[in-house]
Structure 1
């Protein structure tokens, strides 16, 4: 049985706190994760996508179309929060 791929989007602006989040997601993601980094400075669609998700803070991580709880709560992306969102379980 094959697990479906997870689609993980990391929204960034190149801020000092953004690079560690991108590294954390890439470190945690297994082979079944498709990780897309959306830089609001250079990705023309990133701002529209961020608005669709209602992002209020950057960096933010969206897993399979849903903003990770750690990002909704205002604490920002954490290893524990990303694990709870399914980033570490990418088959």
Structure 2
């Protein structure tokens, strides 16, 4: 029996997440085992956090957050540089 590539899609159930799920499904091959995980489940959210997920949708392949999904999400330094918290 061949080993499958484990593909996890972390989703909040929004339209953008649904688009990502559709794209991953379209790109997948017979060696891919896709699992869609709801961030509304606290165990899923904990797993996502351990992988470094900071925003959804996010995709992990074989337990590694895909490069396209890493480093995203709110960042205090960037928000402050854009003016957040500064009086006009």
Matches of 1:54 and 1:72, distance apart in 2:
7
TM alignment of 1:19-58, pairs within 5 A = 19-41=18-40, 43-58=41-56
Matches of 1:7 and 1:26, distance apart in 2:
13
Among candidates 43, 66, 69, match of residue 67 of structure 2: 69
Q: How far is 1:3 from its partner?
A: 5.6
Query: Between Structure 1 and Structure 2, which shows a larger proportion of helix residues?
Result: 2
TM-score by length of 1: 0.71
- Structure 1 spans left out of the alignment, 5+ residues: 75-91
Matches of 2:42 and 2:69, distance apart in 1:
22
Query: Which stretches of structure 1, 4 residues or longer, exceed 4 Å deviation after superposition?
Result: none
Q: Quick one: higher RCO (CA 8 Å, sep 6+), 1 or 2? A: 1
State which structure, 1 or 2, has the greater radius of gyration over its C-alpha atoms: 2
- Residues 42-72 of structure 1, C-alpha deviations (whole Å, 9 max, x = no match): x342111111112101000000010000111
Q: How far is 1:73 from its partner?
A: 4.5
